[in-house]
Structures are given as structure tokens and as C-alpha cells.
């Protein structure tokens, strides 16, 4: 206790001595020496922050080179993102603590420092969110382009919400009443939403498409009477390249509300076709047809035979129904296989003397013998 009293007495004596010199001249309610002390305190605080920032950044840089994890890279980027303006404002606030200011002025400086701190924290959080989203997008870009696009959209909304909250907190700490502002923004937001409901609907539907993934880039889809390959899933529209070459542009809301056939998800293709032979085909040859068809189909690669049946008596042919599966979703491969089957069946039927049917009509004419007297 004695040491504290001695130190206090020494400080009082020093203040009195300074006040008796030109340094005791009052400027804005504080002697010059106190202003000089405030400047020194601010400068010291600034250099302390800079000195602390430097070694931390160097240490994190060293760790980032040694490790594969991105966590230390994120912290390094956060340290580097510390704004010089923030450091200056914090140092200035430390300097004001030395001065004898009125309650209103001191409170104003405290609010400015708090707002600077809020914005600095927002910059750090923005950097963390950006780094996390960038990492996810980079990982998914090759194997899941649609998912990567979804995270880009989600990242935009995350940053929008973050900065909206920051601005509202800053305004509140500056003494601005934000209740009426929020209410006004709510009414304005409703008006904007009503005016741009189609655009907003497409944006939210794009997120639904990217997250639910009814189709992905590269899938072959059919929407109503239109068909083609998905080239791009955008914020408002999805673009499809049709078989005839032109680009089809669908709004995302239209796609979400439509029935979509996605051939990109097809694991195997079920093929059903019929062939007909003439009514003059002998019974023994008719019985051979299912075996011939089965042998021809099973001789093809990437094919699983299902069945062959004498289905019905047609108008001008005896009809057989054949079902098999192509174990590949590629349409060109299916057509190549079907072509080989057709050629092989033609060759086998020709060798067996079995005739394919074609539309024919048989006209029976009855003649009456007229007697002449």
C-alpha cells in the first residue's frame, strides 16, 4: 500500500509540474501534455497490434507450408485480412482513454471503435465462409458440377445475410433506431418480392434443382415435347442442347413444375419390338422362331435377353413380340445392337425359308355360270 501511495504522490507532483509549464495549456478541456500522452498511447497500441500480427502471420505461414490441411491457411488469410483502418481506430480509441472527455464524446468514440470491431469480425467471417465454400466447390467441381454450383448460390445468400446483419448491428450501435427501418425493409421487401416473384421463383427453383438433382449437366432429358442434353444449370434458366442442334432455354420454375424424363439416370434400356411372318409359314418353322430370335439376341454383347412370344394373329401376319435389355444407356450403342439383330434375323429367316409379312390383301372372286336360252 505504501508503494501505491508513493507512486500516486509522485504522479500528482509530476502533473502539477507539467501544468506549470506550457504543456499545461488547456486544449479542448485537456492540457497539452495529456494530448501528447494520448498520441503516444495510440502509437504504442498501434505498434503492439502490428507487432502481434507479424509473428502470428509468419507462424501460420510456416504451418501452412508444412501441413496439408486448409485450416491454417484460413487463419493466415484471416490475419492478413485485418484492416489497417481497424487497427488505427482501435489505437485511437486507446489514446482517447487517456483524455478527460465528456460522457457524450467518450461514448461516441466507444461506439466508433465497436462499429470498427463489428466490421472487422464481419470481414473475418466473410473470409472464413468464402474459403470454406471455395474448398467445397473445388472438391466437387470435377465429380459434381451441379453440387458445386449449388454451393456457389448458397454462399452468395450466406454472405448476403452476414452483411445485412452487420449493417443492422452497426446502425443500432450508432444510435439509429432500426425497428422502423426493419419494418420499412419488410414492406419494401414484400413489394420487391411481388414485383420480381418470377425471378425470385427461378432463383429458388435453381437451388432446388442443384440440391435435389433431378438432373445434372450432361444428362439427356425429355421435357414435354422437347428433348436434349443439359449444358448448363443457371440461376434463372437451364440450357439444353437439342438433338437437332439448337439450344433450348427453360426457366427453372418451368422445369421444377414439369414431368421430366431423365435418360442420364438410365442403368439399362428395355427394348420391345415385334416382327411378323406370313400366314403361309409351316407350323414346324413357326415353332423354331422363338429359338432363332433368342440365339440372335444372346449373341450380341451388352445385352440381356428377356423373352420371345408368339403374341397374336395380326391382320396380315403372325406376330411375335421380343423383349431384351441393353446394358448401356447410350442410344447409339442400342441402335448398333438393334441393327445387328435385324440383319442377323433377316439372314437366319432367309436360310430357314421363313418369309416376313407385309401388308397384303387377298381378293376372292366368285364367278356364276349364266345359262343362255
Is 239 inside a domain boundary? yes
Over its C-alpha atoms, the chain yields an Rg (Å, rounded) of 41
Tell me whether residue 10 is in a domain: no
Q: Are residues 111 and 187 part of one domain? A: yes
Q: Is residue 3 part of a domain?
A: no
CATH number of the domain that residue 277 is part of = 3.30.70.100
Q: Are residues 165 and 297 in the same domain?
A: no
The answer as to whether 128 is a domain residue is yes
- 184 and 169 share one domain: yes
Joined grid coordinates for residue 237? 434458366
Instruction: Report the number of distinct structural domains present in the chain.
Output: 3
Q: In this structure, are 97 and 41 located in the same domain?
A: yes
**Enclosing domain of residue 235:** 214-264
175 shares its domain with 220:
no
Q: How far is residue 275's CA from residue 105's CA, in Å, rounded to a whole number?
A: 96
Domain-located, residue 285: yes
- CB-based burial, 182-195: b 16+ in 10 Å, e otherwise: eeeeeeeeeeeeee
Q: Same domain, yes or no, for 257 and 273?
A: no
pLDDT of residue 73: 60
What pLDDT, on a 0 to 100 scale, did the predictor assign at position 81? Answer: 66
- How is residue 31 written as a grid cell? 492540457
Q: Would 364 be classed as within a structural domain?
A: no
Check: CB of residue 349 under 8 Å from CB of residue 276: no
Grid cell, residue 135, equals 474448398
Q: Are residues 106 and 58 in the same domain?
A: yes
Same domain for 346 and 287: yes
Same domain, 257 and 281: no
Residues 156 and 305 in one domain: no
Residue 6 confidence (pLDDT) = 46
Q: pTM for the whole thing?
A: 0.49
Q: What is the mean pLDDT of each run of 10 residues along the chain (373 residues)?
A: 49 53 58 71 76 63 59 62 71 72 70 78 79 72 63 74 79 70 58 54 73 82 89 84 89 84 86 94 94 95 94 93 92 92 95 89 68 49
> Is 362 domain-assigned?
no
Q: What 3 state SS string does the chain have?
A: CHHHHHHHHHHHHHHHHHHCCHHHCEECCEEHHHHHHHHHHHHHHHHHHHHHHHHHHHHHHHHHHHCCCCHHHHHHHHHHCCCHHHHHHHHHHHHHCCCCCCHHHHHHHHHHHHHHHHHHHHHHHHHHHHHHHHHHHHHHHCCCHHHHHHHHHHHHHHHHHHHHHHHHHHHHHCCCCHHHHHHHHHHHHHHHHHHCHHHHHHHHHHHHHHHHCCCCCCCEEEECCEEEEEEEECCCEEEEEECCCCEEEEEHHHHHCCCEEEHHHCCCEEEEEEEEECCCCCHHHHHHHHHHHHHHHHCCCCEEEEEEEEEEECCCCEEEEEEEEECCCCHHHHHHHHHHHHHHHHHHHHHHCCCECCCCCCCCCCCCCCCCC
Is residue 13, in this structure, part of any structural domain at all? Answer: no
The answer on 34 and 78 residing in a single domain is yes
Q: Are residues 117 and 235 in the same domain?
A: no
Q: CATH number, domain at 235?
A: 2.30.30.60
Amino acid at each position: 500500500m505504501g508503494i501505491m501511495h508513493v507512486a500516486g504522490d509522485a504522479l500528482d507532483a509530476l502533473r502539477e509540474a507539467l501544468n506549470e509549464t506550457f504543456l499545461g495549456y488547456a486544449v479542448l478541456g485537456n492540457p497539452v501534455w495529456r494530448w501528447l500522452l494520448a498520441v503516444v498511447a495510440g502509437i504504442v497500441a498501434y505498434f503492439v497490434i502490428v507487432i502481434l500480427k507479424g509473428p502470428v502471420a509468419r507462424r501460420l505461414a510456416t504451418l501452412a507450408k508444412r501441413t496439408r490441411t486448409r485450416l491454417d491457411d484460413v487463419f493466415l488469410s484471416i490475419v492478413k485480412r485485418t484492416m489497417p483502418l481497424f487497427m488505427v481506430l482501435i489505437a485511437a480509441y486507446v489514446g482517447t482513454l487517456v483524455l478527460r472527455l465528456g460522457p457524450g464524446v467518450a461514448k461516441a468514440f466507444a461506439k466508433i471503435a465497436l462499429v470498427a470491431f463489428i466490421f472487422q469480425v464481419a470481414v473475418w467471417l466473410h473470409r472464413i465462409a468464402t474459403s470454406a465454400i471455395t474448398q467445397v466447390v473445388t472438391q466437387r467441381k470435377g465429380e459434381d458440377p451441379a453440387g458445386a454450383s449449388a454451393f456457389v448460390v448458397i454462399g452468395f445468400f450466406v454472405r448476403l445475410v452476414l452483411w445485412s446483419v452487420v449493417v443492422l448491428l452497426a446502425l443500432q450501435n450508432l444510435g439509429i433506431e432500426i425497428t422502423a427501418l426493419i419494418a420499412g425493409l419488410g414492406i419494401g421487401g414484400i413489394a420487391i418480392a411481388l414485383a420480381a416473384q418470377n425471378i425470385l421463383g427461378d432463383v429458388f427453383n435453381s437451388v432446388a434443382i442443384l440440391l435435389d438433382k433431378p438432373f445434372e449437366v450432361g444428362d439427356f432429358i425429355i421435357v414435354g415435347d422437347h428433348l436434349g442434353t443439359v449444358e448448363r444449370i443457371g440461376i434463372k434458366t437451364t440450357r439444353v442442347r437439342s438433338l437437332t442442334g439448337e439450344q433450348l432455354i427453360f426457366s427453372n420454375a418451368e422445369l421444377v413444375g414439369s414431368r421430366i424424363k431423365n435418360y442420364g439416370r438410365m442403368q439399362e434400356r428395355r427394348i420391345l419390338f415385334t416382327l411378323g411372318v406370313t400366314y403361309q409359314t409351316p407350323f414346324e418353322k413357326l415353332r423354331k422362331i422363338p429359338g432363332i430370335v433368342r440365339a440372335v439376341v444372346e449373341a450380341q454383347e451388352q445385352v440381356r435377353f428377356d423373352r420371345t412370344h408368339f403374341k397374336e394373329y395380326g391382320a396380315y401376319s403372325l406376330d411375335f413380340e421380343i423383349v431384351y435389355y441393353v446394358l448401356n444407356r447410350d442410344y447409339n450403342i442400342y441402335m448398333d445392337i438393334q441393327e445387328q439383330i435385324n440383319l442377323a434375323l433377316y439372314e437366319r429367316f432367309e436360310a430357314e425359308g421363313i418369309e416376313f409379312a407385309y401388308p397384303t390383301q387377298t381378293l376372292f372372286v366368285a364367278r356364276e355360270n349364266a345359262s343362255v336360252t
